[in-house]
Amino acid sequence: MRKFIVIVFLLMSASLAHAVTPDEMLQDPTLEARARTLSQELRCMVCQNQSIDDSEAPLAHDLRVLVRERLKAGDTNRQVLDYLVTRYGEFVLLKPRFEMRTVLLWGLPPLALILGTVALILALRRRNAEMIPAQPLSTAEREKLTALIGRERGESR
């Protein structure tokens, strides 16, 4: 049992490891930290739902190296991101920027949530308004019901 737990722990910790190889890492810890931060913001174009920091795809490796080269050349984080967006398009960013052309991308989910909530409230109100409140039986209806119940009791014996 102990071996099983150790194996599971090793497998879980291996899955948490980043794909960055030692030969990619920069000597300057500050630049390396910036590179890691930027790598978490960039999408692997092969895996698409992974950052280039987590992906082992060759293209992700090339992008990690490119990020580090740009940082060594003195680019700011913003300049590196702008360079990659110019080269690969907005899709390279895991979180697209809030701009006029991405307003729908950012605004549609909250708008859909608000419209759905309003529609649900209106539907519940309409349903409650359409419900007929219970009214007491008239004398004729009560007598008819009593006769039916009495007849049924007589038949069941």
**pLDDT digit string (tens) for 27-73?**
678 888 888 898 888 988 888 788 888 888 888 888 899 999 999 89
- Cα–Cα distance for residue pair 40/25, rounded to 1 Å: 15
Give mean pLDDT, residues 91-110: 82
Give mean pLDDT, residues 73-84: 91
Contact of 52 with 43, CB cutoff 8 Å: yes
Total residues belonging to the chain: 157
- Cα–Cα distance for residue pair 155/37, rounded to 1 Å: 83
What six digits make up the tokens of 141? 């209806």
Angle (deg, nearest 10), helices 29-41 and 58-72: 130
Side-chain half-sphere of 38: how many Cα atoms within 13 Å?
A: 27
Question: What's the pLDDT tens digit per position in 109-143?
Answer: 999 999 999 999 999 988 887 777 778 889 999 99
- Determine the residue type at 18: H
Q: Residues near 37 by Cβ (< 8 Å), separated by ≥ 6? A: 77
Q: Which domains does the chain have, with CATH numbers?
A: 2-97 (1.10.8.640), 102-156 (no CATH)
